[in-house]
Amino acid sequence: MEEYIEKFRNGTHYMNIVSAVTKNDLYRVSELSDEYLDLDCVKLVPASGAATRMFKDLYAFLEDEKPTEFIDRFFDQLENFAFYEDIKDNIEENKIDKNTSAGRLKIADNIVNSELAYGSLPKALIKMHTYEDNTTTPIDEHIFEGEQYLNQDLVKLHFTIAEDHEDLFNQYVSQALQEKDNINITYSFQKSETNTPAVDMDNQPFYLENGEILYRPGGHGALLENLNDLDADVVFIKNIDNVSHHSLMQDTIESKKILASAGLEVQAQINWYMNDLLADEYNLEDIALFIKDRLNITLKTELTKDRALELLNRPLRVCGMVKNTGAPGGGPFIVDNGDYLDLQICEKAEINLADNEQQAIFNESEYFNPVDIVCFIKDCNGNKFDLRNYANPDRYFITEKTYQGKKIKALEHPGLWNGAMHNWNTLFIEVPLTTFNPVKTVNDLLDEGHRDVSVVRVKNVVN
């Protein structure tokens, strides 16, 4: 507890960013290869989030009954949502007019509460896309996507879900996998031992009425435990809400193959140098050049054999980066770690924006992290790394929350693709913006990435 209290007192640790990543810092794949399919691959999908926030604007409308631009757009295009067919009969039978305030309130309530109860479902089970003969949820889309670039004989996916949603998840998956014997889906929960204590605004433990300290989930960084438990050679990581309509999926499939090919290429080079070092038959100049040019690690001191072993014998991550369009979230930077510079994904909260120089570097960021990562987690001897040993425990986050109307501070573990992978070797590769289609609010489903591109474009031309 004292260690936690000390972290609250110290606050979020700032990273020392030296520059924003530019095109020159990105890795370029020499050739596309499907040899990664010879390895044991699994796709990890963090999927424990509830859809409540996705429908926050509908909840606000139900509470204050005030029309907004968001609400107008939602109801103007109501028929374009994949879940419309599930409420259509109710609307027609009860002659609900979506153009009146009373009608809109009834429809909003049907969606988030009474009929569909989407507000209490996990985001993974929300109908998002419409096709000729069916509608799909993110689970369906992640399965379909995995079938396109994972081993066809055995497509392995692992979801992290909330315990409260276990039965719903299993029921849905059992139906989705009918006649799909080549799909293997497993799941796990965020471990309760990764929960962290909350404190009051004076950094003292926050006690519940029963005298126990309030503990909260430790953020997505806690999923490092789940990632570490996976028995695989290669792990593809992608968030549950970042899915695209099939008509726009080709870029995603191609980029996944590019990321995996790059990782395979560099991992082979790392293993080659590791074997040379272990056999005491190495050329330190060649290794130093590889570390600098391929891994983008700039040492401030001369490279030694021991330092080379330390830097090469680490997990490898290949991260897709999209052009920065101003979306909230982390970005790629070159960071000063004290005795060396390397590539890191940093959240805005980890950068001291009160420092003019750091603010200027942050503003120059050309790329954004869409959480599109391929991880190589075994060493040159085929043994799995203990990923917990490669995290930076100082990259935790302190956030302000409320509990029953009282302000509290919460602590989150170093983010899964931030501090939890701080001591990994890293490659950044630019991927098309079309691969990034997050659904943060329900109206995001009206964007091009979530609808049949040909139909949307024809309508735009006609209009």
Tell me where in the chain the CATH 3.90.550.10 domain(s) lie.
2-49+127-436
Q: What is the pLDDT of residue 454?
A: 65
* pLDDT tens sequence for the chain (463 residues): 999 999 999 999 999 999 999 999 999 988 889 999 999 999 999 998 889 999 999 999 999 999 999 999 999 999 999 999 999 999 999 999 999 999 999 999 999 998 999 999 999 999 999 999 999 999 999 999 999 999 999 999 999 999 999 999 999 999 999 989 999 999 999 999 999 999 999 999 999 999 999 999 999 999 999 999 999 999 999 999 999 999 999 999 999 999 999 999 999 999 999 999 999 999 999 999 999 999 999 999 999 999 999 999 999 999 999 999 887 778 999 999 999 999 999 999 999 999 999 999 999 999 999 999 999 999 999 999 999 999 999 999 999 999 989 999 999 999 999 999 999 999 999 999 999 999 999 999 999 999 987 665 445 444 4
* Type of residue found at 178: Q
Q: Beta strands 155-161 and 41-46: pairing type?
A: parallel
This prediction's pTM: 0.94
Strand partners, 236: 43, 374
User: What phi and psi, each to the nearest 5 degrees, are found at residue 370?
Assistant: -90, 10
CATH class of 2-49+127-436: alpha beta
Q: What percent of the chain has pLDDT over 70?
A: 98
Extended beta strands in 71-134, E state? 129-130
Number of C-beta neighbours around residue 26 at 10 A: 17
Question: What pLDDT, in 10s, does the model give residues 87-134?
Answer: 999 999 999 999 999 999 999 999 999 899 999 999 999 999 999 999
State the chain's mean pLDDT as an integer: 94
Q: Helices in 230-355 by DSSP H: which ranges?
A: 250-278, 284-293, 305-312
Residues 82 and 436: their CA atoms lie apart, in Å, by 19
pLDDT of residue 460: 46
Bridge partner list, 136: 129
CA distance linking residue 455 with residue 55, whole number of Å? 26
The angle that helices 250-278 and 284-293 make with each other, rounded to 10 degrees, is: 160
